[in-house]
Amino acid sequence: MRKIFNAGVIGVGAMGFNHTRVYYEIPNTKLVAVADKDMTKLKNLKAKYNGVRIYSDYVDMIEKEELDIVTIAVPTTLHKEVADVVFEHGVNVLLEKPIADTLENADAIIKKAEKCDVTLMIGHIERFNPVVMKARELIESNVFGDLLSISVRRLGPFSGRIKDVGVLVDWAVHDIDVLRYLTNTEPTSIVAKVISGRVSKFDDIAMILLLFDKSVLGNIEVNWTTPVKIRELILTGTNAFGRINYLSQELEVYETVNKEDPLSDSFYVKKKDVTVQRIEPLKVEIMAFLEAVENGTNPPVTGKDGLLNLKYALQALDSATK
């Protein structure tokens, strides 16, 4: 990758701030401008990142700056509105998840990107966590044998900054995407139960059960009512068991091995040495986005992926109300 991309960020909340930092740090991008309604955040970024220009109006930024790529990290309900403007100026977009608030808006975003002939990638960052990528590698090399189940827990406190969707759409889409990525297939059945109104006006606690068409059971537990941050995934296969800690980027794998008597029903467990190269997932994600833009290829997480993740999340939410 040789090209230096002029980069901008629209929305500099928690994720937008991190995108801003990574664009400034990596050698393949030049952080040109950021936009947000919060002038205090903008002034802090201007002081922190030398040369960056700040805008309170993202339309003004898009019209005045010559940008190759833009991260959109605004509230979900604004995704379509903002993306439309950016697309119309021929700028490639890394759109934070979920892709949109409705399937109709998600579909419109995808069609608009295609019409404007720009690259659209959805920011499902957990796909780029080194432990998830390593787990996929081990699955494909048959270390786990046939996958039987995948269980995920994404728990933590409510930040208060998410005001337009519940925990199922905002957080569970991460894990729906990871399960689709690890199984390399789509769910054929989804049911969920939720509890709402504990810390927000939406669903705050959700349990989701998915069945994938390779007869793999998926279980996702999400809530933003737990006072500590937990991000873990457990894989169970016919040949091995794996445990992932997203936060520490640790992957433990235990292989099931027959004892000396091949006819015995007894087994013993052997821990497998697994090496994971630790790197910030957001940097991996952005580099993958840049590569797709430069080569004119589909990004690893397409608009269609984002739409499917949203579709399954909404399907789970709908099942919980019946």
Q: Are residues 52 and 25 in the same domain?
A: yes
In this prediction the pTM is 0.93
Q: Are residues 158 and 275 in the same domain?
A: yes
- State the Cα–Cα distance between residues 253 and 259, nearest whole angstrom: 19
Burial of 197 per CB tally in 10 Å (0-12, 13-18, 19+): exposed
Model confidence pLDDT, tens digit, residues 227-236: 999 999 999 9
Q: Is the pLDDT of residue 192 over 70?
A: yes
Q: Are residues 89 and 118 in the same domain?
A: yes
Q: Are residues 109 and 76 in the same domain?
A: yes
Model confidence pLDDT, tens digit, residues 134-188: 999 999 999 999 999 999 999 999 877 666 789 999 999 999 999 999 999 999 9
Structure tokens at 170: 């905002």
Q: Are residues 22 and 73 in the same domain?
A: yes
pLDDT of residue 200: 87
Q: Are residues 152 and 212 in the same domain?
A: yes
SS3 278: coil
- State the Cα–Cα distance between residues 121 and 99, nearest whole angstrom: 9
Q: Is the pLDDT of residue 259 over 90?
A: no
Spatial CB neighbours of 182, under 8 Å, sequence gap ≥ 6: 132, 135, 136, 139, 147, 150, 235
Average pLDDT over residues 1-21: 92
Q: Are residues 67 and 140 in the same domain?
A: no
Average pLDDT over residues 226-249: 96
pLDDT of residue 267: 62
Mean pLDDT (the chain) is 94
Instruction: Tell which wins on pLDDT, 117 or 263.
Output: 117
Average pLDDT over residues 16-29: 97
Model confidence pLDDT, tens digit, residues 58-104: 999 999 999 999 999 999 999 999 999 999 999 999 999 999 999 99
Q: Is the pLDDT of residue 53 over 70?
A: yes
- Domain extent for 164: 127-281+310-320
Tell me the C-alpha to C-alpha distance, in Å, between residue 231 and each of 168, 221, 227, 253: 15, 10, 13, 17
pLDDT of residue 307: 98
Q: Do you find a cis peptide bond into 187, omega within 30 degrees of 0?
A: no
Q: Are residues 99 and 145 in the same domain?
A: no
Beta-bridged to residue 72, according to DSSP, are 10, 95
Q: Are residues 118 and 195 in the same domain?
A: no
* CA neighbor of 205 nearest in space, from 229, 226, 231: 226
DSSP per-residue string spanning 102-117? SHHHHHHHHHHHHHTT
Residue 261: DSSP 8-state: -
Q: Are residues 261 and 133 in the same domain?
A: yes
User: Structural domain tally of the chain?
Assistant: 2
Q: Is the pLDDT of residue 1 over 60?
A: no
Q: Which of 76-80, 191-195, 268-272, 317-321 has the lowest mean pLDDT?
A: 268-272
Q: Are residues 87 and 156 in the same domain?
A: no
Q: Which of 39-53, 112-126, 258-272 has the lowest mean pLDDT?
A: 258-272
Domain of residue 230, CATH code:
3.30.360.10
Instruction: Give the number of residues written for the chain.
Output: 322
Q: Are residues 15 and 93 in the same domain?
A: yes
Spatial contact of 276 and 134, defined as CB atoms under 8 Å apart: yes
Give me the percent of the chain exceeding a pLDDT of 70.
95
Q: Which of 250-264, 281-295, 306-320 has the lowest mean pLDDT?
A: 250-264
Domain of residue 15, CATH code:
3.40.50.720
Beta-bridged to residue 236, according to DSSP, are 149, 241
DSSP per-residue string spanning 290-302? HHHHHHT---SS-
SS3 307: helix
